[in-house]
Amino acid sequence: MRAEERGAFGELLMGLLELYGRSLTPAAAALWWAAFERHPLGEVRAAFSRYTQDPGQGRYPPTPAAVLGCLARAPETVRPDADEAWAVALEALDERRTVCTNDEIEEAMTAARVVAAGGDRIGARLAFRAAYERVVRSRRQAGRAPCWRLSLGWDRDERARVAEQAVQRGLLERERVAAHLPPPAPRGAAAAVAGLLSGRAGAATACADDAETRQRLATLRAAIVAAGRTPPQPAPHAEQIAARRRAALAGLDRLMTGAGRGEGNHSPRPAPEEARG
């Protein structure tokens, strides 16, 4: 678990102990945290649930050792075999790809990276398998589950797809990858307003909860449509300015037309007198 998950772990632990009528002191909380810190929060939550549902030991107040035993019995479906882990490790080398990987795969890949850098792909795979099986064996003996995380690539669309798959497989909690998931679809009133604004009247009314709400939405939509069909009316001041401008242009046109025809009321200018000698 990460340090910022300490509060979530504390709430989970208090809920477990309250179920058995037990309280929690700061010293006891520190011991519980030290015992479970190296495990992912999702696996810890699953182990707590597994303990409370155990028909044998679930009848007694929990201890860290007893709950750790439930953690060790976690299903192995969340831990890939060596060939599956090698495929994940290869995908993680592509900077475009987003991959859900874990600390066991990354540790084994560290041992194989030197061989892979030399161009020996087969040798790198064998080195990875040997390192991975050694790491998994050690973790199983210690009762430790793999710690999953997202290795992000630059393809944002794939980030959402891989994050959603990791959540569905139970490898990652939705809260941890929420930033990479698409926003949830609107429901209820939000869906009705979204349908109304998008012009899907059927979707808007279908999402309304009752007949009165559907009627109000229909009335609102009709008003919006009618407003869109009515041309905007100019303000009085703007209309006056436009009228003056049209009048000025018309007067200028008349003056220019009269000048072109030689019209006007001006008397002809007299010819200049000749100089007398």
Give pLDDT, residue 40. Answer: 80
User: Does 110 score more than 80 pLDDT?
Assistant: yes
At 242, the pLDDT band (50, 70, 90 cuts) reads: confident
Average of pLDDT values for 48-69?
89
pLDDT of 1 reads: 82
Length of the chain: 277
Q: Is the pLDDT of residue 64 over 90?
A: yes
Taking the C-alpha atoms of residue 83 and residue 90, their distance in angstroms, rounded to an integer, is 11
Whole-model pTM over 0.85? no
Q: What is the maximum alpha-carbon separation in the chain?
A: 146
Could you tell me if 165 and 107 are in contact, meaning their C-beta atoms sit under 8 angstroms apart?
A: no
List, for residues 186-207, the tens digit of each pLDDT value: 555 555 555 555 555 455 455 5
Highest mean pLDDT among 100-104, 141-145, 231-235, 254-258: 100-104
Predicted confidence (pLDDT) per residue in 146-183, tens digit: 888 899 988 888 888 998 888 888 788 788 888 877 76
Which residues share a beta bridge with 100?
150
Please give the full DSSP string across the chain, using - where no structure is assigned: --GGGHHHHHHHHHHHHHHTT----HHHHHHHHHHHTTS-HHHHHHHHHHHHT-TTGGGS---HHHHHHHHHTS-GGGS--HHHHHHHHHHHTSTT--EEEEHHHHHHHHHHHHHHHTT-HHHHHHHHHHHHHHHHHHHHHHT----EEEE--S-HHHHHHHHHHHHHTTSS-TTTTGGGSPPPPP-HHHHHHHHHHTT-HHHHHHH-SSHHHHHHHHHHHHHHHHHHHSPPPPPHHHHHHHHHHHHHHHHHHHHHHHHHTT--SPPPPPPPPPPP-
- Joined tokens for residue 246: 């049209």
Is it the case that residue 26 has pLDDT exceeding 80? yes
Contact 101, 79 (CB under 8 A): no
